Amino acid sequence: MPTKITIQKIEKSHISEVDFNNLPFGEVFTDYMFECDYKNGAWQVPKIVPYHNISLAPSAKVFHYGQACFEGMKAYRDNQDKIWLFRPDENQKRINKSLKRLAMPEFPANYFMEGLTTLVNLEKDWIKQGEGNSLYLRPFAIATEAGVSASPANEYKFMIICSPAKAYFSGEVRVRIADKYSRSANGGTGFAKAAGNYAGQFYPQELAHKEGLQQVIWTDASTHQNIEEAGAMNVFFRINDTLYTAPTSDRILDGVTRKSLIDLAKLMGYKVEVRYVTVNELIACAKDGSLKEIFGAGTAAVISPVLGFSYKDEAYETPLPDNSYALKLKKHLTDIQTNKAEDPFGWRVLVE
């Protein structure tokens, strides 16, 4: 059943004040946002309203117990001015997995999809043609109920905000392989896009920054041998001519980029194996030259090559090879996302 989403119009867009040639990631937001409240045991009628600050009690549970989760996705404008989403059903399903794990009420699929497409349609002017341009979409949900008793809230707010984005260049990325800190554990919330997962990463990341490294490669919490993720991205290794990435589990985020790259790599004739690469294996392969590439995969940067890694006191370089699989995959995937290449998997969704 389609919902009637109400739209509260703004008087004047602030788009003319925005310098689209100079857009730091995630700092500029569009004119509107999507908002839906949960109370009395049900999600209320969703609405689109002007982007605005929200007011919450200082005791609101999100501030104390971290009941908060989010999604990250993008809308693109092709050369014929059509607007596309990339596999939005995956984000819709995933936020419900995150909500469920955090004892938050699942969000109806039709509210999510209609809210998203209505909002993107309204904000079309913010999506520019051209390589790397997109509208970054951030659906998220928080516990709004007042009161500091440690129990799941009875009131929540689901929102979607939009931020115009340029190609995301993280610069040269070198990483520290974690041998002490962990991002997630068996039975924990690692598979969910829980806000708290990020909070727990910031301190080890700061320690890496102090050493001149940009990210942390996370290993399993019990042995610190199996490589799981790179920062807030899934991670791939190319050893000789085969790509490896860890299997998803309750410790690993099931990235849309990761799963798309597995399918695309196979289509492009690359060998892909879903299995753990261990730290010892990685070091051995770096030493004997069979380690050709490391890259992170996620919506914001699509693919981010990793040019070196440090483990304990040793540093290893992994410069981009000629014939980089990472760069070829990135080009092909962004061409599919922006309707420049055929979409054999049916991943693109036209926004009408």
Ligand X SMILES: *Cc1c(COP(=O)(O)O)cnc(C)c1O
Considering the rule CB under 6 A, would residue 233 count as an interface residue with ligand X?
yes
| 302-321 burial: b if 16+ Cβ within 10 Å, else e | bbbbbbbbbbeeeebebeee
Distance between CA atoms of 168 and 160, rounded to whole angstroms?
Answer: 21
Minimum CB separation of residue 229 from ligand X in Å reads: 5
Rounded Cα distance, 1 and 46, in Å:
14
Least distance from ligand X to the Cβ atom of residue 217, Å: 12
Number of residues lying near ligand X (CB under 6 A):
13
Residues of this chain, 234-263, that bind ligand X according to CB under 6 A: 234, 253, 255-258
In angstroms, give the least distance from the CB of 52 to ligand X. Answer: 26
Give the residue, chosen from 108, 115, 298, 305, that forms a contact with ligand X under the rule CB under 6 A: 298
| Angle (deg, nearest 10), helices 256-267 and 88-101 | 140
> What minimum distance in Å lies between the beta carbon of 256 and ligand X?
4
Based on the shown chain and the rule CB under 6 A, indicate whether residue 232 belongs to the binding site for ligand X. Answer: yes
> Please, what is the minimum distance in Å from the beta carbon of residue 99 to ligand X?
15
Residue 298: both structure tokens together: 């996620």
Whether the Cβ atoms of residue 336 and residue 348 lie closer than 8 Å to each other? yes
Describe the crossing of helices 256-267 and 325-337 by its angle, rounded to 10 degrees: 110
Residue 72 found at the interface with ligand X (CB under 6 A): yes
205 binds ligand X (CB under 6 A): no
Q: Is position 229 an interface residue for ligand X (rule: CB under 6 A)?
A: yes
Amino acid letter, 305:
P
Contact characters 174-203, ligand X, x per CB under 6 A: -------------------x----------
CB of 194 to ligand X, least distance (A): 9
348 interacts with ligand X by CB under 6 A: no
Beta-bridge mates of residue 235? 296
Which residues are CB-contacts of 164 (< 8 A; sequence separation ≥ 6)? Answer: 18, 20, 23, 28, 30, 126, 127, 128, 133, 134, 135, 136
Positions in the binding site for ligand X (CB under 6 A): 72, 193, 229, 232-234, 253, 255-258, 298-299
